Homo-oligomer: A and B are copies of this chain.
Amino acid sequence: MRLTIEREYFLKALTNSGHAIAPKNPIPVLSSFKLDLNERGLEVTGSNSEITVRSFVPYSKNGKTIISNAVPGSILIEANILTNLIRGLGGTTINLDIIDNAIANISDGHTSIKLTNCARAEEYSDIDLEPNGIELELPAEDLIELVSQTAYAASTKEQRPVMTAINLRAQDGVLKATTTDSARLARKAINIDSDVRFSTNIPAKSMVDVSKMIEGCDKVQMFVSSNKALFLFDGNVVSARLIPGDYVVSESAIPYAFNYQLQVNSNELLEAMSRISILSMDRESVVKLSMSEENVEVSVKSDRNGSGNEPILTFQYEGEPLSISFNSRFVIEAIRVLKAEDVVICFQAERRPFVVKSPKDESAIELITPMRNY
């Protein structure tokens, strides 16, 4: 196996497949990339028990040569060393020459590297990357937004594995992503140009990895089967293990009618909450929002340190006066992922879950359970 490759494309492939390299994989061969140069181009595969990424670099793109001097073949090379070397080299093209299925000579014409602990590609695990199951094509930017507005609310606790997933449910031309850690729930819906129907639970971490890799792509093809979700984009393939179990979210738990509504500037509310929360720096930060048509104020009370309050100057509030307390981190994270200039918070009652959303876009909602008022 031998090739000359544009460093930038090679590094992108290594970085993408690197998402699947676990820091300490119990299976030694999985600390390596599998490099496979065939008639289509170069494929770089990385894998762990959660996710497998096969990145693809074509021989040429838009008439520009990316790979030349090619002699097909395949090899296993230690992933972190290879990525760091290719990142560190100064040249724009890399020569890679594999000798005796064991030694990789790497050079950019200035620095010369000989890696002596490579292994035969046959030693690599056999991984299923065949597309099967239900197929769905999405604009990459839709999938990125679906993930960014939901993944943060998935549970990070392993006790209930299914809650570490993003539940994806397709039905009636709509794809809904839902996450919850029991104290809050995030939901994003997008229209799809398909009448497929499925419900599947993909680890939130895997979806975040996918969303990073598809940045700048146009379309993503998804294949959902009973044991894996496959993502295809620009010749790359990502396979994510599914989390078994039912994802139970009662649709009736998501309120749609409200008695109180506050619209505020996102940054003003974020800054006020961040400042005020400094007082409770040692623990979950409970913030109280006190609202009337005349005044809106955020306040905090810490048994250990004292208390603080700050008025919100620019707001529109509709409803009777209301005070509601919550974990400020939940509201801060919800506002951040909405990326809207203003934010609307809709309340049912002091002790009932409330909804954070953008005033212009109802497709994403963040539902938060309040805490007891102090």
* A binding-site residues for B, Cβ under 8 Å: 78, 80-81, 84-85, 88-90, 103-104, 110-117, 271-272, 274-276, 278-279, 281, 304-311
Supply 12 further A-B pairs (C-beta < 8 A) apart from A104-B306, A110-B311. Answer: A78-B305, A81-B281, A81-B305, A90-B275, A111-B272, A111-B308, A113-B279, A113-B306, A114-B308, A115-B305, A116-B306, A117-B306
* Closest B residue, CB atoms, query A272: B111
Question: Is A275 a contact partner of B81 (Cβ separation < 8 A)?
Answer: no
Contacts of A271 in B (CB 8 A): 90
A275 contacts B117, C-beta separation under 8 Å: no
> Do B116 and A305 touch across chains, with their CB atoms under 8 A apart?
yes
Bound form: Cα–Cα A84–B309 in Å: 16
Question: Which 5 A/B pairs are nearest by Cβ-Cβ distance?
Answer: A116-B306, A113-B308, A111-B310, A115-B306, A88-B275
Chain B nearest CB from A112 CB (Å) reads 5
CB pair A88–B278 under 8 Å, yes or no, is yes
Contacts of A114 in B (CB 8 A): 306-308
Question: A310: which B residues are within 8 A, CB to CB?
Answer: 110-112
Which residues of chain B come closer than 8 Å to A81, judged between CB atoms? 278-279, 281, 305
Min C-beta distance of A267 to chain B, whole Å = 11
Nearest CB of chain B from residue A191's CB, rounded to whole Å: 41
How many Å from the CB of A83 to the closest CB on chain B? 10
Question: Contact check: which of B281, B304, B309 meets A112 at CB < 8 Å?
Answer: B309
Cβ-defined partner of A281 (8 Å) among B84, B117, B278 = B84
Contacting residues, chain B, for A90 (C-beta < 8 A): 271, 275
